[in-house]
Amino acid sequence: MKDVFKKPDSFYEFFTRSAGVDKEATHYCPGCGHGNLHKLIAEAIDDLDIADRTVFVSPVGCSVFGYYYFHVGNVQSAHGRAPAVATGIKRALPHSIVISYQGDGDLAAIGANEILQAANRGESITVIFVNNAIYGMTGGQMAPTTLIDMKTTTTPYGRHAENEGYPLRISELLATLQAPVYIERCTLEDSKSIMKTRKAIRRALELQIANKGFSLIEVLSPCPTGWKLDPIDSREWITKNMLNVFPPAVYKDRADAPSRPTPPTPVYDGDEVLKIIGIKESDAAHVAKLPADFPTHKLVLAGFGGQGILLLGQLLAKSSMREGKFVSWLPSYGPEMRGGTANCHVVVSRERIGSPFVTNPTLLVAMNQPSLEKFADSVEPGGLVIYDSSFVKDVKLPAHVKAVPVPFSEIANDLGNAKVANVVAAGTIIGLTGITGADSFKSLLGSLRKELLDANLKALAAGLAEARHFGAMSNQPSVKATVS
């Protein structure tokens, strides 16, 4: 004789994970809709032969114990977060079939944003949304789907629109989105409607198998305990009270949508990883023998945003790094960034660098008037101030610093491009301080914008020439670098 009562294979034979004594019955109350639904899902998983690759996500609510019953991969999640958790799973396991099984409090209240966004992204997951108009597990409090005038433990006088708003119609809401492929509202009020629900669940899963995208089946489900009704009356209660507020229908059907593209396979091969990231053995990286008297250079570079000040600092740091020196580069950070001026701190040393902050620079490069005014007084006694005399006209400096005016911007303009003023400045800095070799710096110019290479090379040479000019005018600082 055919065993018509056989449990689906994707149910556990015995519910050994259950905390209860009875390992054969579910923890659900008599007449609860979860039992029907679980069976419909398990049979669909069997018939579609997807048990091995199915991952069942159960968040907080009566269905939190989905893992007692479903013999598939199970992930239990926080209240309302199942669509986000399901997203993480599906992205990591594109081949998997992910079912998110959520109640109305979970999905429509605390998790309303997660479901909205997962639906809008068109995540290829299937959501079973159990709507019983009440918080079942926590003892019958109001849900977003609680009906008007319905009494719950937190609406003891009935739900009133002026206080709690109206029942939330999730299927209708999500159906306004472009991405979802299938949204249907079903009910469990009688055998006929259960068979319709059965069909809807299969359709949703088939669409996921075809990787079409997001599907949601809302199921009006009885909660005899929460409603304080017997199982038979509960079914009738759905028919009488819920159907007019939550009409069963197919709200969205884009079964003809194209399948979503298969995501690429992640690369784990180490050599391939380095290649893709773009890390090369650096040819220039060598630890030079630095002279013992190589001083620690502490630079403040400042100017207008757009003058390439931050880049100038980075290039000086990078060039010095390639010579085996310790370097740090720190941009202005915080509200300053939005003030129209940009500055950065650069430290270059033969020793490990402690503080990357430069409070008393050995060199201030001021590319505009405000920068000179802001930082001039902080320069270390004996320090150097190099400024762009194209912009800085009013020069008041402390007596203990040495000033070098160079019209960087005018020189850059003469070279045909105002953008290379920062490299002119680099030439002068290098020439006057020896912070890095001109050759090391020059080798970096190729990595900048190609169309500026010629102008940059000329700019560097021009800047170095300015340094030589000042070096010749005074005994120190001496010219320490030349371009080969």
Partner 1 sequence: MRQELMKGNEAIVLGALLAGCRSYFGYPITPASEIAETAAVMFPRLGGTFLQAESEVAAINMVYGAASTGQRTMTASSSPGISLKMEGISYCAGSELPCVVVNIMRGGPGLGNIGPEQSDYFQMVKGGGHGNYRMPVLAPNGAQEMCDLTMLAFELADKYRNPVALVADGFIGQMMEPVNVPNPVRTFPDKPWAVKGTGDTRDSLISSIHLDHNELEDHIRHMYAKYAEIEKNEVRFEEYRLEDADYVTVAYGIVSRVLMSAVDQARAAGIKVGMLRPITLWPFPAPRLKQLAGHVKGILVSECSTGMMVEDVKLAVECRVPVQFYGRNGGNIPSARELYDAIVKLTNTVGS
Work out whether 54 is an interface residue with partner 1 (CB under 8 A).
yes
Shortest reach from residue 113's CB to partner 1, in Å: 6
For residue 74, state whether it binds partner 1 (rule: CB under 8 A): yes
Token readout for 453 is: 């290479």
Nearer to partner 1 by Cβ, of 236 and 336: the residue is 336
CA distance 346 to 328: 6
Query: Whole-number minimum distance, CB 257 to partner 1, in Å?
Result: 21
d(CA 253, CA 380): 73
Sign (positive or negative) of CA dihedral 130, 132, 135, 138: negative
**CB 3 → partner 1: shortest distance, Å?**
23
Read off the tokens for 5.
């009562």
Report the site for partner 1 in 356-415 (rule: CB under 8 A).
Answer: 356-357, 359
Region 324-363 residues binding partner 1, contact defined as CB under 8 A: 326-331, 333-335, 353-357, 359
* Token duo for residue 451: 């169309």
Q: Which of 375, 356, 354 lies closest to 364, judged by CA?
A: 375
Query: Of residues 4, 277, 292, 473, which one binds partner 1 by CB under 8 A?
Result: 277
In the complex, minimum distance from the CB of residue 263 to partner 1, in angstroms, rounded to a whole number: 8
* 472 part of the interface to partner 1, by CB under 8 A: no
Of the listed pieces 77-85, 201-209, 240-248, 384-392, which binds partner 1 according to CB under 8 A? 77-85
Neighbours of 383 (CB within 10 A): 19
The answer to whether residue 261 forms part of the interface with partner 1 (CB under 8 A) is no
Total length of the chain: 484
For partner 1, give the closer residue by CB, 48 or 395.
48
Least Å from the CB of residue 208 to partner 1: 12
Contact positions with partner 1 (CB under 8 A) in 80-119? 81, 84-93, 95-97, 113-114, 116-117
Q: Residue 51 or residue 188: which is nearer to partner 1 going by CB? A: 51
Q: Does 76 bind partner 1 (CB under 8 A)?
A: yes
- Other C-beta atoms closer than 10 Å to the C-beta of 151 total 16
- Measured CA to CA, the distance from residue 199 to residue 220 in angstroms comes to 15
Q: Which of 156, 261, 266, 291 binds partner 1 (CB under 8 A)?
A: 266
Residue 207: beta bridge partners? none
* Sole window of 50-58, 170-178, 212-220, 244-252 interacting with partner 1 (rule: CB under 8 A): 50-58
What's the CA gap between 241 and 227, in Å, rounded?
A: 12
Please work out, in degrees rounded to the nearest 5, the angle formed at the alpha carbon of residue 357 by the alpha carbons of 351 and 359: 110
Taking the complex as a whole, the smallest distance from the CB of residue 209 to partner 1 amounts, in Å, to: 13
Single out the residue of 282, 291, 292, 450 in contact with partner 1 (rule: CB under 8 A). 282
The β-bridge partners of 387 are 366, 405
Q: Establish if 64 lies at the interface with partner 1 (CB under 8 A).
A: yes
* 315's tokens: 């290039």
| 174/242 with CB nearer partner 1 | 174
3-state secondary structure 378-417: HCCCCCEEEEECCCCCCCCCCCCCEEEEECHHHHHHHCCC
Site for partner 1 in 302-331 (CB under 8 A): 314, 317-318, 321-322, 326-331
Which segment (134-142, 272-280, 416-424, 474-482) binds partner 1 by CB under 8 A?
Answer: 272-280
| Binding segment toward partner 1, per CB under 8 A, in 181-189, 258-266, 422-430, 461-469 | 258-266
E-assigned strands of 163-310?
182-187, 215-220, 249-253, 297-304
CA dihedral (31, 33, 38, 43) positive or negative: positive
Return d(Cα 42, Cα 23) in angstroms, integer: 18
Site for partner 1 in 112-151 (CB under 8 A): 113-114, 116-117
Among 195, 255, 285, 472, binds partner 1 (CB under 8 A): 285
CB distance 158 to 150 below 8 Å: yes
Nearer to partner 1, 75 or 363 (CB): 75
Number of residues that bind partner 1 (CB under 8 A): 73
Considering only residues 188-227, where is the footprint of partner 1 by CB under 8 A? Answer: none
Q: How many CB atoms lie within 10 A of CB 281?
A: 6
Measured in degrees and rounded to the nearest 5, phi and psi for residue 403 equal -110, 140
